Homo-oligomer: A and B are copies of this chain.
Amino acid sequence: MNNYEAYYAQLYALAKEALSHWMENQSAPEPVRSAMNYSLGAGGKRLRPMLVLAGCDLLQGDRAQAMGYACAIEMIHTYSLIHDDMPAMDNDDYRRGKLTCHKVYGEGMAILAGDGLLNSAFEVMAAHMQRFPENLVNHVCALAHIARGAGIEGMIAGQCVDLVGTGDDAQSLTWLHRHKTGALITAALLAGLQLAAPTPEELEALREFGYRLGLQFQIVDDLLDVEGDAQTLGKATGSDAANQKTTYVTLYGSEKARELAREHSQAAVEALEIFGERAWFLRELTMRLLTREQ
């Protein structure tokens, strides 16, 4: 099936259904149950779970074995947003057009909701992998990819440096986004790929793809932020400080930043060569994320 829209819709539906199933069946006490579901159900692109499934498809892995990681990585992404939005961090009142978790449930409950989603991600993975004892070595590696990507040498490292402030040069900015955004995107891809016992070369190629895709994704985000700000001056937001941060646009200007995003896209696509025709979706996705408008 090389129809991009149909394939995308299929992966999106799989991710959405798995997350809905988890939300309906999770039995945390109130109000932390609602707080977790409020943020996890708030929508978004579901990019990371789709990348798990797309990574799995690259070597024709068993999608049923990848679903636990698809759920887990979205739960991790969501927990990081809940904690990032808090007053002591980015201090955002709104996300995706809705009040942030702590504005609805209070700061204490938002801390617990984030903790609950992070812990549940690993609980989901642990329960999931027990269903596949014949492939347990690869499942443990998949969990390890996600733990590393989300952890103190991955996403949390990026959040830490973002919080204390980074240098305003290109190298610092790239380090920041490689960790804060790129590490989890890469982990999603690797976790999916891992289930089909990839070679070291295949893992390395997909790691390079994830790195490039993550940077491209961030640069386009920066560009869209600038365009969005220009269109909605005066909108209610708690993140005035964010507007003063160094971004690829403040550093390079819009035109050069867009060129840089194109370069990363091209390098991303080149990294996929080892997978041949099976990488068609990730190639197409890369190009569409480059030209996305939100």
Which residues of A approach B to under 8 Å, CB–CB?
26-33, 36, 79-80, 83, 86-89, 106-112, 114-116, 118-120, 122-123, 126-127, 129-130, 133, 136-137, 139-141, 143-144, 147-148, 150-153, 156-157, 159-161, 163-164
Contacts and interface: CB of A to CB of B under 8 A. Distances in A.
Contacts of A107: 87-88
Copies of this chain, whole number: 2
A111 to B, nearest CB: 5
A148 B126 CA distance: 10
A140 to B, nearest CB: 6
B136 A123 contact: no
Contact of A151 (B110, B120, B148, B157): B120
A150 B153 CA distance: 23
Contacts of A153: 27-28
Contact of A26 (B30, B106, B141, B152): B152
Given A88-B108, A116-B151, A130-B141, A160 B32 contact: yes
Q: Please report whether the interface of chain A is mostly helix, strand, loop or mixed according to DSSP.
A: helix
Nearest to A130: B140
A146 to B, nearest CB: 9
19 contacts: A27-B152, A27-B153, A28-B156, A28-B157, A31-B164, A32-B156, A33-B152, A111-B111, A116-B156, A119-B147, A119-B150, A119-B152, A122-B143, A126-B143, A126-B147, A133-B137, A136-B136, A136-B140, A140-B140
Given A88-B108, A118-B118, A130-B144, A31 B160 contact: yes
B115 A156 contact: yes
